[in-house]
Amino acid sequence: MCGRYAITLPPDAMAQLFAARPANALPAVPNFNVCPTTQVHVIRSGESGRNLVSMRWGFLPHWYKEETSGPLLINARAETLAEKPAFRAACRERRCLIPATGFYEWTKDTAGNRLPWYIFREDSAPIAFAGIWQSWGKDDPQETCAIVTTAANTAMSAIHHRMPLILEPDDWALWLGEEGKGAARLMEPGAEGVLDWYRVDPKVNSNRAEGEELIEPFEA
């Protein structure tokens, strides 16, 4: 699962990294507490090449009459992505990348308190989540997205049984549909030794928390 993350990379750096043309209106960075239903940075590919755009994090199937007509779909399971009615068309036709600096996950202590962890690439490179997107609404359509998740690898399973699907640069073009078919082979647990993590301050348990201190190591 991925329910909160951080992004510190400036839009021009994101555009350069992903070889994408940036849109004029993009979410502000840095953001150390990116939450569901907010606007997030997304890279998608089209006839004119790659574009860096803003989308609502929370996928809205076309049959939702209102944003709250059904469950909040911030994640999509890789194992059933091609089968679920909400996601199967997007899985075939509308895959995207969602950049991040790191993401949060939670464990619980013996008293049931939620203990947050900050998870990041061991090599300090930006993370590229695999995502899918959907344009929703007729009168004033908005573009929405979800992060694809997979079973946790051995190391991550100590924190949570799910993890976001993280793609390496060599796989970006295939996921975006630029290299034809075959993206299904990418939907596997991530390689071991790519991610690292540490405890962070419980203040990040609040979706209103802000500031760089959210991703700093915390000693209980």
Give CA–CA dist 126/5, Å, rounded. 12
Q: State the catalytic residues.
A: 2, 105
